Structure 1
Amino acid sequence: MVRLLILFGFLTVININSFANEAEGGIIQGKVTTSDGQPAADVSVYLKDTHKGAVTNESGEFRIKNLPDGTYELQVSLVGYETVSKTVEVNNSKTVTVNIEINAASIKLEEIVITAGGNRFAKKESDDVSKLSLKNIENPQVYSVVGKELMKEQVITDYVSAFKNIPGAGIPIVYNQGRTTAISRGFTTANLVRNGVGGFIYTSIDPANLERIEVIKGPSATLFGSTLSSFGGLFNRVTKKPFDSFRGEISYSGASWDLNRLTLDVNTPLNKDKTALFRFNGAVHSERSFQDAGFTKNFLLAPSFSYQVNERLTLLLDVEMSGYKATSPTRLTPNTKGNIHSVEELAMPYKLSFANNTINYTSQQLNVFGQIKYKLSETWTSQTVFSRTRSSSDGYTVQLTMPTDSTLRQQVTSQEYPYYGTDIQQNVKGDFYVGPVRNRVVIGADFYALRSSRNDATINMPVLNYKKPGAAYNNFTVEKVSPLFSTATFVNYTRVRDNTYSAYVSDVINVTDQLLAMASLRVDHYKAMGEYWPSQDSVAGAYDQTALSPKFGLVYQVVKNQVSVFANYMNGFENVSGADAYGNTFRPQQANQWEAGIKLDALNNKLNATLSYYDISVTNMLRVDTDNPNFNLQDGTQKSKGFEAEVIANPIPGLNIIGGYSYNDSKYEKAAKNIQGLRPASAGPGKLANLWVSYRFVKGKATGLGLAFGGNYGSESFQTNTDTYAFTIPSYTVLDASLFYDKPVYRIGLKVDNLTNEKYWSNRLAAQNPTRVTVNLTFKFN
């Protein structure tokens, strides 16, 4: 680590000194405009095979100085636009003026783009959020985006760390097998969506192949279905795609606790016409826990191939393959009949894991995504998507329980869990006028299937004193644990087989030039084929349900393309099995959201903000029937309402600010007696805030040098919350800082997480990392 720090300082000094030695030379300057004549700000302009480049200012102008005489290939690139190349000759150290026009690409290709002076983190346009090409300011739904440039600046080495930038997400929960969830509007929300369709995996997610994370807020079943979204929203992982020029990078990160991480990102055209494109992302990662035991080792292979058959037809194949070996994350259940009611009272040693590295699991995942786009006409496009996932986990997982206030017991599960998911989706999209009224329409059909099986058993270890565990702590090894399963009872091959058949339609109408209306509807038929028990050759729990899910929204642009007010009604649902004491089968739970707010994309994209108030009512919840204790009633209700704000600002060139705040008031309005009127423990902290302030020098000798500072705050929350027992988790404030030096051919980054060494915990009472230092070195090539 010391050597890497010295290397960071050495290269920085060398590069700054090189500015002083540059001789005066020729200049290439000019202006970049879009096809509609507007200036193109924040566009990368660089000279191929050199270290020279620039980024256009607000007027689309650029200037590259100190050029020796010669012939250069000038390349201009911006995400969503075609890359433009132009040959420019510099003679006698004179100034050459070049004006360039860029056109929208036929397909939106993701690129590795360096931006500097503009609002680098405000790129929110997405085709997945509404399944239409709709600007954020036109969309009545709230969403946030965490892009790869922000993840690079924060030296993100694991998936959950990116969630620090999401308003209201809290501390993500890491489950056995590495699965993760976070909070959205008071509801636990899993990571089930990849590239807009089902991408469920039962293992960890490596961030190396992520272009961005899209966080879609509120019940979103209308366009995404109940099996993929929670009542609070969903998280969509957008993977990196090929683009039409050769470029790439190789990156190494080293950090505290023996973290070693190597990633590779290479993109290249495969033919002269650049109709066949290939991109490969890969990662190798290993680290140990800051506690006495615990580790993670993994690899990722992610090839992606696109082929433009002709002007109408484009094919895309995107694959992720990974393997993991790791110990279980901490999961602690306190004694609900005891006298300890908080983490502070528990006083468990922060660096003890109560685990052992020999007791671990291995997992694999394969995620295949295929897409066929066909331009039917000038106004209609067909999109066919196929997603197939397989993930499995084999080995040992551990959870901790407290039989008394002073003792702890380790429970070990021997498991074999394979999961299979299939999503086939067909969309037809139109953008057309009926008279003077513009319509943007998507009509879709979706089939989603999930298969899983289980083979597991659990054994209990002897209790031990968690403050002074003694020799029993050292006896927790695979050699001692494995023989205990010879007499354990295994649950064999309990299979879950669920199919969902859906159809939906959504139309965004420009009532006037500034007033837009959205109307959407989904019909969803869910068929649970039940759990199959081979030992009895019987099926249990089979049922099917049909639900309708509407969605409506209004947007009025007070200032065209800059300020809009919006309101929406959105619906979500969750299928429920069983019947009440009178034989009435249960209906799906329903969540109905009303929301209103304001969106800004003002001051030439220098200020991007969303402020909203939402009210979510959940009905048809189950609660115990007091007259028939062995049955449930379906008249329970829950309310979740609150305020969210997100601001992404670029007040001066080089200065970028991301800030978020959420307030959530969630409670059971009609429920079982022991939780009536209380906040669900799973809702997380009622108040959450995030901030990241970054400054990068965009002029002078220090161009590319930057520093950043930020942090996260969460109010007190609950691990358990009933009328007889509550266990609280304290509030936390975690501060981070970053220093980086970004040049055309390399990047050096230094990140310090948790500067003040704050002790804080997840909802599962997993202790979070203390102060951590990470150094990153990246080489770029083109």
Structure 2
Amino acid sequence: MLRFAKDRRLLSGALPMAMALAPFPAAGEAFAEDAAAEGEERGAAITVTGVRQAYRGDFAVSEIPQAITEISAETLEQNGIQRLTDALDLNASVVRQNTLGGLWDAFAIRGFTGDENMPSGYLVNGFNGGRGFGGQRDAAGIERVEVLKGPAAALIGRGEPGGTINLVTKQAELGRTFGSASIQYGSFNRVRGEADANIAITSGITARLIGYAEDGDTFRDHVHQTRWGFLPSVGVALGDDTRLTYDFEKTRVSVPFDRGIIVLNGDFDTVPRSRFLGEPGDGDTVARATGHQLRLDHRFSDRWSLLVGGSIRHTLLTGFSSDAETVESRQALYRDGRSLSRQRRSRYYDADHAVIRAEIAGEFDTGALRHRVLIGADHDAFTYDQVFRRYRPPALAANPTEQQGYVIDIVNPVYGRFPLPQTAVITDRVDRQRATGAYVQDQIEVTDRLQVRIGGRYDHLTLETDNRLSGVSARRNHTRFSPQAGLVYKLSEPLTAYASYGQGFRANVGTDVNGTIFDPETSESIEAGLKLTLLGGKLNGTLSVFQLTKSNVLATDPNAPGYSLAIGKARSRGVEFDLGGRLPGDLDVLVSYAYVDAEARSSMLDPAFSFRISPGDPLINIPRHNLNMQVARTFTFGDRRAQLGAGMQYVGRRSGATGTDFMLPAHALFRLFGKVDVTKNIELFGSVTNLFDKHWYANSYSPLWVQPGAPRTATVGLRARL
């Protein structure tokens, strides 16, 4: 977002947007307001101190025909959240999906996720940046998480119809010097340290240095994790109206690959939730990421601005794992109830992702009509080099020995009982995706109450596959136009109605049995709702209804095991309600509820396990009911400031395996958090999650790959601020 000392037009739009987005007021808002007031008083020249977000334009949230919610850095800090996956739990429209044993971020928005064999994509500062295999994103360095729901392909392109996650990172703030550092200790001997220092080198150059390191056990036996990251940012003022920002990312995660527990005959107590059924001898799986992002933000006038930037990111995931065999004809567990046959797997996932984009935002008048436009173009290049190796137990009909079955006793596991099996190459392939797109959006103010948004995006997509194992290469080009339209009508001062329509697409990875690359997955979205703003913008809510449809979903080719056909359809529809802000008496509230009915709309076979899917079958890991509530109160005793808060998350019953009647049970989790000033610059903070030690399950791929949720977990720490 841009902040200008004298530009009242921008401040009048930007500051209400920040207030409307934030469930809990952040410290940065007060600074922005003070800076605005100071600039007005002294009549200073226009100065760019922040960075505008791509795809957004100069709109208050109430003017956008789309449901948008935000999870602020303060909310993350209050709850002691360190992972993006946990942060997204705070919004009911977003639910967990399978995370490759906890090694990538996977989520569904409004019932739809992407390719189950890839991490979920997201934006970083408005740029496509979530693809790749760098491990689960840490919350350090995140200023806020924006949940941009509904049709957005006309601007963003190539994504899921349910919505998009945009991470706004903590960036260098020009002309200021401040910092913080914290150390914390938590359950399972977890120790974590963080530091954040914003240093004004000169009046026009500022560096912000952010780093974290974490080490400790988990509630899972034999699962110890180590992670660290360095996330610096440098801001340079190139004159009064131009800002250059460079962000760097270097992270590493090291943890044993963990498929979770097994559930036999519907019994979720088949094994303790702590039991590790892999093999410690496999060692850690390591995920690494190195990224660079450069953005130039220039203001031509009080009506027109330019944002140009690019990013490159390299990720690498390597390691071995021992996973439960999921095919019944190879699984000894179904014979004696305790001998778990396992596969052994090796992964080498190497990915490079590069993005460049430019966007002009501005406004002009034609007669009585006011136009606010976005005009932009981008180029996206993604290369995915994968080598996947596997050892698989023989079919039970061959009467394999326990060593051949790579068996582990689930009741009394003995690790290292057999030599680690040698794996053979199953996949050795490079996939390349190149996409170039251009878009335009015009939001027309027809009257003081009515605004109309129209726009569209044209994309040219090139897909290439080089199968080194089969020697077959393929290449295919696609073009696609994605339109959008929306209406915003101000019913009264606090209440606004909106409606929107959009189309989109996402590239499918892989080929059919003949080596032909698939057509993209296509989608169509409609949404309508009401937005409420009360207490001068301190309390904001959105009620929305939506329906999304997808076509060209991949399904197994019944005549060619290991290959797929694009024949599937799916639909999701539902109702959402989000309310957040500050009530009188320094009481912060957050309520997020979603009812989502997501189901298959055609007959198909599941690509992984060949289970039959019929119209009406629920999509995996999508609950119909999801609710998150939180309340926190700030108060003082003596000369010390303190805060106490509590929250609750309810996740309904949901499918745990595609094409079966296996269901994950509903759960309700409660949490407490608080902080108190020890001295003027030092605070003591802590949190307890899963307060009543509920047994719950985060996600599932099959009854033999079920991820149990953490038991009661406590954290306490000290934070110093300068």
Quickly name the TM-score band, shorter chain normalised: 0.7 to 0.9
Counterpart of 1:300? 229
Out of 216-225 and 239-248, give the one that drifted further. 216-225
* Paired residue total: 666
Q: Which amino acid aligns with 1:158?
A: R
Q: 1:682 aligns to what?
A: 620
Partner of 1:650: 582
Query: Is residue 2:692 matched to residue 1:756?
Result: yes
Q: How has the CA–CA distance of structure 1 residues 634 and 354 changed in structure 2, closer, same or farther, with 3 Å as cutoff?
A: closer
Q: Structure 1, residues 393-429: CA drift from partner, whole Å, max 9, x if none?
A: 2222343235133232333322322110000111111
Deviation at 1:470, TM superposition (A): 4.4
SS in 2 for 1:497: strand
Alpha-carbon distance in structure 2 between the residues aligned to 1:207 and 1:626: 43
Residue 681 of structure 1: CA displacement?
3.7
Structure 2 runs not aligned, ≥5 long:
17-24, 115-119, 393-402, 606-611, 701-705
d(CA) in 2 for partners of 1:656, 1:105: 34
Alignment of structure 1 residues 330-409 onto 2, 5 Å: 330-331=259-260, 340-344=264-268, 347-358=270-281, 359-401=283-325, 403=331, 404-405=333-334, 406=337, 407-409=339-341
For normalisation by structure 1, the TM-score amounts to 0.78
Alignment partner, residue 148 of structure 1: 73
Q: What letter corresponds to residue 462 of structure 2 in structure 1?
A: K
Per the alignment, residue 239 of structure 2 pairs with 310
- Residue 755 and residue 177 in structure 1: after superposition, are their counterparts in 2 closer, same or farther (change >3 A)? closer
Structure 1 residue 507, shift from structure 2 partner: 1.1
Corresponding position of 2:169: 239
Conserved? CA contact 1:657–1:692, under 8 Å: yes
Residue 481 (structure 2) aligns with: 548
**Which residue of the other structure, out of 657, 664, 683, is the alignment partner of 1:729?**
664
Cα offsets for 1:459-505 (capped at 9, x unmatched) = 2474546542343x3537xxx42xx33xx323575211110111111
Sort the Cα spacing of 1:329 and 1:144 in 2 relative to 1 into closer, same or farther, 3 A: farther
Map 1:254-653 to 2 at 5 A: 254-271=185-202, 274-331=203-260, 340-344=264-268, 347-358=270-281, 359-401=283-325, 403=331, 404-405=333-334, 406=337, 407-460=339-392, 462-464=405-407, 466-471=409-414, 473-475=415-417, 480-481=419-420, 484-485=421-422, 488-490=423-425, 493-533=428-468, 538-560=471-493, 562-576=494-508, 587-621=519-553, 636-653=568-585
Query: Displacement, 1:269?
Result: 1.3
Cross-structure match for 1:709 = 646
Q: Is 1:107 equivalent to 2:48 in the alignment?
A: yes
Partner residue, 1:90: none
Q: Distance in 2 between matches of 1:503 and 1:212?
A: 27
| CA separation of 1:395 and 1:656: change in aligned 2, threshold 3 A | same
Could you say if the C-alpha distance between residues 101 and 499 of structure 1 is closer, same or farther in structure 2, counting changes exceeding 3 Å? Answer: same
Shift in Å, 1:515 = 1.3
Q: CA 1:80–1:619 in structure 2 vs 1: closer, same or farther (change >3 Å)?
A: farther
Secondary structure, aligned partner of 1:319: strand
User: Which position in structure 2 is the counterpart of 1:251?
Assistant: 182
Cα deviation code 1:282-341 (max 9, x no counterpart):
00111211122102111111111111111233211011111221111325677xxxxx55
What is the alpha-carbon root mean square deviation over aligned residues?
A: 3.4
Task: Say which is worse superposed, 619-628 or 682-691, in terms of deviation.
Answer: 619-628
| Shift in CA distance, 634/158, structure 1 to aligned 2, threshold 3 Å | closer
Aligned CA distance change for structure 1 residues 647 and 84 (closer, same or farther; 3 Å) = closer
Q: Paired residue for 1:230, among 160, 176, 194? A: 160
Unmatched tracts of structure 1, length 5 or more: 1-31, 43-57, 59-74, 87-98, 111-125, 335-339
The reply to whether residue 192 of structure 1 matches residue 122 of structure 2 is yes
Percent identical pairs in the alignment equals 22
Q: Deviations over 1:515-547 (max 9, x none)?
A: 1111110111110121241x67x4434212111
Q: Pick from 31, 45, 57: which aligns with 1:78?
A: 31
Q: CA deviation at 1:579?
A: 9.6
| Whole-angstrom CA distance in 2 between matches of 1:521 and 1:253 | 48
Match of 1:216 in 2: 148
- 1:684-707: CA deviation from partner (whole Å, max 9, x where unpaired): 11110001110111x662652111
Paired with 1:634 and 1:394, the residues of 2 have a C-alpha distance of 30
Structure 1 465/580 Cα, relative in aligned 2: closer, same or farther at 3 Å? closer
User: Shift in Å at residue 105 of structure 1?
Assistant: 7.2
Query: Does the aligned pair in 1 maintain the 2:121–2:128 contact within 8 Å?
Result: no
Contact 1:499 1:526 in 2 (8 A): yes
Partners of 2:680 and 2:444 lie apart in 1 by: 44
Give distance in 2, aligned partners of 1:621 and 1:463: 34
Cα pair distance change 1:417/1:634, threshold 3 Å: closer
Measured in 2, the distance between the counterparts of 1:415 and 1:578 equals 17
Contact 1:177 1:202 in 2 (8 A): no
Moved more, 727-736 or 622-631: 622-631
CA shift, 1:177, in A, is: 7.0
Is the aligned partner of 1:158 residue 2:83? yes
Q: Give 1:127's match in structure 2, choosing from 48, 53, 59.
A: 53
Residue 620 (structure 1) shift: 4.0
- Counterparts of residues 737-748 of structure 1 (less than 5 Å): 737-742=672-677, 744-748=680-684
Shift of 1:100: 6.6
Displacement, 1:631?
9.7
Which residue of the partner structure matches residue 766 of structure 1? 707
Based on CA coordinates, which of the two structures has the bigger radius of gyration? Answer: 1
Letter in 1 for 2:195: L
Distance in 1 (CA, whole Å) between partners of 2:225 and 2:513 is: 48
**Which residue matches 2:397?**
none
Note if contact 2:261-2:708 (Cα within 8 Å) is conserved in structure 1. Answer: no
How many angstroms apart in 2 are the aligned matches of 1:767 and 1:579? 34
- Corresponding residue to 2:134 among 177, 186, 203: 203
Secondary structure at 1:187 match in 2: coil
Of the candidates 700, 720, 723, which is equivalent to residue 657 of structure 2? Answer: 720
Call closer, same or farther: CA 1:441–1:499 in 2, change over 3 Å: same
CA distance in structure 2 between the aligned counterparts of 1:629 and 1:160, rounded to whole angstroms: 33
Alpha-carbon distance between aligned partners in 1 of 2:516 and 2:67, rounded to the nearest angstrom:
37
Q: Match of 1:468, SS?
A: coil
Q: TM-score, normalised by structure 2?
A: 0.85
Does the C-alpha gap of structure 1 residues 470 and 542 become closer, same or farther in structure 2, counting only changes over 3 Å? Answer: same
The offset of 1:553, in angstroms, is 0.8
**Contact 1:592–1:617 at 8 Å: present in 2 too?**
yes
Cα distance between partner residues in 2 of 1:292 and 1:626: 39
Q: Does the 8 Å contact 1:260/1:286 carry over to 2?
A: yes
1:40-79 Cα distance to aligned partner (Å, 9 max, x none): 999xxxxxxxxxxxxxxx9xxxxxxxxxxxxxxxx99523
Query: For each residue in 1:26-45, what CA deviation from the matched residue of structure 2 results, as whole angstroms up to 9, or x when unmatched?
Result: xxxxxx9996999x999xxx
Structure 1 residues 615 and 543 mapped into 2: Cα distance closer, same or farther (>3 Å)? same
Task: Tell me which residue corresponds to 1:10.
Answer: none
- The answer to whether the Cα contact below 8 Å between 1:734 and 1:754 also exists between their aligned partners in 2 is yes
Aligned partners of 1:198, 1:81: CA distance in 2, in Å? 33
Query: Contact 2:488 / 2:499 at 8 angstroms: preserved in 1?
Result: yes
Shift in alpha-carbon separation, 1:617–1:681, aligned structure 2, 3 A: closer
